[in-house]
Amino acid sequence: IQHLLVPRTLFLTNIRRASQALAYDNFGDPVAVLKKVSIQNERVIKNGHVMVKYLASPINPADINTIQGVYPVKPSSFPAIAGNEGVAEVIRIGSGVKNVQIGDKIIPAAKASGTWTTHAILSEKDVTVIDKNVDNLFAAQLTVNPSTAYRMLKDFHKFEPGTIVIFK
């Protein structure tokens, strides 16, 4: 799995002006439809929302299939920011946010949340706070890969009780 890692300089220079993202206006070959875009950041974060800066966002087959339009999970509208999973740090919070603090490390809980971006504004209910000590590359893959591996093991092979599976 390859990782889309955005240089730290983008985070520092664009936090007050614009975020950079990979977006698409319609389904198709990712090479043909993905475009780098700038998105103006909102000056005021809405009630119950948080602003995050992404630390890592993997590229996996589900992302490619989503962009192609053949994956069951699809963006709610176009243009859409690509990416289904990632890990981010909370950098601002809106009023009414109760369970998330500035500096928290989060993973998005909503499907097709658009993680191939430097920054995003997400609803507090659509984030899961994780331990700050979890490695960024590991955390970025928590929402899709473990459940996919579990389903593959559960659905395609009958294991006897006590069987140990080792991944390399």
CB 112 within 8 A of CB 76: yes
Marked catalytic residue, from 24, 54, 71, 150: 71
**Under DSSP, is residue 118 helix (H, G, I), strand (E, B) or coil?**
coil
Q: Is 71 a catalytic residue?
A: yes
According to DSSP, residue 154 is labeled: H
Three-class DSSP category at 124: helix
Residue whose entry in the numeric block shows the structure tokens 């459940």: 147
Q: Which helix (H) or strand (E) holds 88?
A: strand 87-93
- Could you give the residue numbers annotated as active site? 71
